[in-house]
Amino acid sequence: MSRDKDFKEFYESSLKPDLEIIDRERRKVNTRIITIIAFTAVAISLEIILIPSEAEMLKGIIPFLTGFAGLVVTGVVSKDYRKEYKNKIIARISGFLDEKLIYTPGGSVSFQDFLKSEIFPLRCDQFKGEDHFRGKIGRTDIEFSEVTAKHKNTSHNGSNQKDEYITIFKGLFIIADFNKHFKTHTLVLPDTAEKLFGKFGQTLQSVGTGKRKLVRLENPEFEKEFCVYGEDQVEARYILTPSLMERILAYRKKWDSRISLSFCDSKVYIAINMNKNLFETRLFKPLTDYDFIEENLRFLILITEIVEDLNLNTRIWTKD
Amino acid sequence: MLYLILAIIVFAFLVIIILYNSLIRKKNDVENAFASVDVMLKKRYDLIPALVDAVKGYMNYEKDLLKEITELRVRALSDNLTGEERVKIENKIRKDLADILVAVENYPDLKANQNFLKLQGAINETEEQLAASRRAYNAAVTVFNNAVEVFPSNVMASMMKYERKTLFDIPESEKVKPDISPLS
């Protein structure tokens, strides 16, 4: 394929010289980190040996704090190196794919947009995002970033209050302009109930979520994978045409992951669960490895292909 | 013993109320969905004169087609139509609309006309909304038909003289699967 060949050339001529410089930095950082780990390990061992066993509290807290400090210092030491890799390498891979795609390593899709999608029913108390991309593919505006959202669960045990953070979403969050106008909100969520309980699951789903009612669609495979809730039965079907249902199914298979979609304000919000941290550098292996660098491009292609996959550039309706 | 009989009576009464209400709700859903099909059909009728006006100055070889669709619209709007006749007319209108939009390909000036493009967008939108409302109607009818046929609600349904309702035929063109081969 020509894009593969072009990227190989781009890698050799443009990325590799910079990667070699960054890789020298990696080796330095690597040595520093190994030294920090060694020092931290020695310090923890000494603390355990030297702190008298009567001071039980200290024996637990001090080694813990030392370990934590070691971790923080490791992060600080490698921060510039990670930043340089993202600014010099990932930004240029993004430019190679599409010049109009703007990459902000520390940016994120907005918390308001995340909330507006209403994909996750649990209240979000902690929201973090990185690796934000924004651009226009054909006639479709698109933005996406990695997102981690957590819910704070507070439990009371007598007078003690314990806060625990539960991850409600970790993965990629994509926002794309949809090709049709619509007024109501439609949710397409992974169908856990029907997969687990079959027909009984369907009954469970029909309870609905507040103002949204279950929308039963005629594609059995789609119904098995997803559960649709909409405020308007007709508009939900206007969005989810038989063709779009097939496309969403294919897109889900492509990612082989849990995917949720929300259609609101004439936009589509897509949450793809993922444990892998994308667009990150590595410390203990050389960076000048073509496959490692090319993987970033493959992920970017996979994400941006959503526009083609869901046929978002087709504008045969009244929306420009 | 008396309590047991009373409990059975109350229980039976509750079941009857639940079945009755649920059937009424399902019937209303069907009527509601049918009304939304009607709304979309009216939107389609409103667009036909505008379309005929926009294309008649350009199209020389499709005069008969334009005349036919105008007549069909008048017939569709008349009140004395049986259900079957109406379905036939709607199908014919859909086919004629599609034919006109295909014929536009032969007239580059028309294809470049901004007003026509807007109108074409509105027609595509209405056709897809119409398809969506038909599908919503079919979904509501399927739920209603299940209730009419499944025990114990079928007993109540026959007492209420509810009968199975007929589904809309979804045209083949709306069932066509998209070409998503590049994905695999």
pLDDT digits (tens, 9 = 90+) for B30-60: 888 888 888 888 888 888 888 888 888 888 7
In the predicted structure, residue A89 carries a pLDDT above the cut 80: yes
d(CA A263, CA A265): 7
Q: Which of A234, A254, A305 to mutate to test the interface with B (most CBs of B within 10 A)?
A: A234
Q: Give yes or no for A302 touching B (CB within 8 A).
A: no
Among all chains, which residue has been given the structure tokens 């039980």? A56
DSSP collapsed to 3 states, A23-69: HHHHHHHHHHHHHHHHHHHHHHHHHHHHCCCCCHHHHHHHHHHHHHH
Mean pLDDT of B127-132: 87
Q: Locate B104 and state its tokens.
A: 């536009």
Q: What are phi and psi of A284, to 5 degrees?
A: -100, 10
Closest CA to A37 of A77, A74, A82: A74
Partners of B139 on chain A (C-beta within 8 Å) are: 215-218, 233
Total residue length of chain A: 320
Q: Give yes or no for B30 touching A (CB within 8 A).
A: no
Q: What separation in angstroms does the CA of A230 have from each of A210, A216, A315, B25, B135?
A: 10, 10, 23, 18, 14
> Which residue of B lies nearest to A180 if distances are taken between CA atoms?
B125
Residue numbers of A between 134 and 193 with CB closer than 8 Å to B:
180-181
d(CA A254, CA B7): 56
Q: Are B74 and B52 in contact (CB under 8 A)?
A: no
Closest CA to A97 of A140, A133, A127, A70: A133
Q: Where are the beta strands (DSSP E) in chain A?
A: 102-104, 126-137, 140-157, 160-177, 186-190, 213-215, 226-230, 259-264, 267-273
| Nearest-by-Cβ selection for A254 from B118, B142, B183 | B183
- Do A242 and B175 lie within an 8 Å CB cutoff? yes
Distance of CA B129 to the CA centre of its chain: 9
Among all chains, which residue has been given the structure tokens 């379309």? B51
Partners of B177 on chain A (C-beta within 8 Å) are: 242-243, 246
Q: What are phi and psi of A286, to 5 degrees?
A: -60, 150
Residue numbers of B between 116 and 155 with CB closer than 8 Å to A:
118, 120-122, 124-125, 128-129, 131-133, 135-136, 138-140, 142-143
> Which residue of B lies nearest to A233 if distances are taken between CA atoms?
B136
Q: Locate A103 and state its tokens.
A: 């990459």
Summarised one tens digit per residue, pLDDT across range A17-66 is 999 999 898 888 888 888 888 888 888 888 888 877 777 777 778 888 88
Summarised one tens digit per residue, pLDDT across range A117-126 is 999 988 999 9
d(CA A66, CA A37): 11
Predicted model pTM: 0.81
Q: Which of A19-23, A208-212, B113-117, B170-174 has the lowest mean pLDDT?
A: B170-174
- Residue A191, H or E segment: none
d(CA A258, CA A209): 20
Q: Give yes or no for A309 touching B (CB within 8 A).
A: yes
Summarised one tens digit per residue, pLDDT across range A151-184 is 998 888 777 888 889 999 999 999 999 988 899 9
List A154's β-bridge partners, or say none.
A163
In the predicted structure, residue A107 carries a pLDDT above the cut 90: yes
In the predicted structure, residue B158 carries a pLDDT above the cut 70: yes
Mean pLDDT of A256-281: 92
The phi-psi region of residue A84 (left if phi > 0; otherwise alpha if psi is between -120 and 50; otherwise beta) is: alpha
Q: Give yes or no for A255 touching B (CB within 8 A).
A: no
Please provide the DSSP assignment of B146-176 as one string. Answer: HHHHSTTHHHHHHHTT----PPPPPPHHHHP
pLDDT of A249: 92
Q: Give yes or no for A296 touching B (CB within 8 A).
A: no
ipTM of the modeled complex? 0.75
Closest CA to A245 of A267, A266, A270, A228: A228
Q: Give yes or no for B178 touching A (CB within 8 A).
A: yes
d(CA A317, CA B105): 17
Q: Are A153 and A163 in contact (CB under 8 A)?
A: yes
Residues 6+ apart with CB under 8 A from A141: A135, A176, A177
pLDDT band (50, 70, 90) for residue B182? very low
- Do B124 and A247 lie within an 8 Å CB cutoff? no
- Do B138 and A218 lie within an 8 Å CB cutoff? yes
d(CA B125, CA B131): 10
Mean pLDDT of B162-166: 85
